[in-house]
Amino acid sequence: MASSPAAVKELQRDLENQANALSKIQKDIAKNHQVRKQYTIQLGENELVLKELELLNENSNVYKLIGPVLVKQDLAEANANVRKRIEYISAELKRLDGTLQDLEDKQNSKKESVLKLQQRIHSLQAGKSKS
């Protein structure tokens, strides 16, 4: 029983490390959610733009605001640009989904290990109090 206090200390240090890692992962997940929300909004806006662009006539003028100036753009070019942007955003969203899945898996495993550690500490302490 002489080794038990040292073991408990060791376990507690381990637990702290694990908990820190877990909170880090949770922060990452929150960040991921934020970014994803932004991208989703942009995707919606782009889709609106694309719809409107498709409704425009061939000879109507389209401008793009670049910094402080409006630059005239070809309608087809604008269309292609928006399409490309939608593609990019979709790809980005998919990527974010993948990373989110990854992070959640990690989070679950970390949670489990934390729980295990807590249980071990509990049992050790119970054994100590009995003896």
Partner 1 sequence: MGAVARGTITSLETLFPPVEAQMAARRVEEAIADRRNELRLVQGFVSDNSSLINLARTLPEELSHDVMVPFGSAAFFPGRLIHTNEFLVLLGEGYYAERTAKQTVEILQRRGKALERQVESLKATMVDLEAEAKFFDSTAAEAAEGLVEIREEYVEESEKKVPGSDSLDSKRDDMQMPDEDEEYARIMARLDELEKEELEDGSTSDDDNDETVAGDEVEDGETGDEDEDAESSYSFCTSDLKHEILEIKHKSEHPVQKVRGQGQEMIGSIVSKQVGGITEQPLTDLPFSGDSKMQFLDVAHSFSNSGQSISKEVSRSSSSDAKFSFSKIEDSSNSTSRQISDRVSSGHKAFTGSIIEHDLGLPPIQSAKSNLGQAPVSSSWKPVSRFKMQRGNR
* Interaction site with partner 1 (CB under 8 A): 42, 45-46, 48-49, 51-53, 55-56, 60-66, 70, 73, 78, 82, 85
Burial of residue 25 (number of CB atoms within 10 Å: 0-12, 13-18, 19+): buried
Q: Closer to partner 1 at the Cβ: 49 or 103?
A: 49
Instruction: Kindly state the smallest distance separating residue 111's Cβ from partner 1, in Å.
Output: 18
CB of 2 to partner 1, least distance (A): 38
What does the alpha-carbon distance between residue 23 and residue 7 come to, in Å, rounded to a whole number?
24
Q: How far is the CB of 21 from partner 1 (least distance, A)?
A: 25
Q: Cα separation of 108 and 110, whole Å?
A: 5
Closest approach, Cβ 47 to partner 1, in A, equals 9
Q: Which positions ≥6 away from 7 have C-beta within 8 Å?
A: 124
Q: Which is nearer to partner 1, 7 or 50 (CB)?
A: 50
Shortest reach from residue 56's CB to partner 1, in Å = 6
Cβ proximity to partner 1: between 6 and 65 the closer is: 65
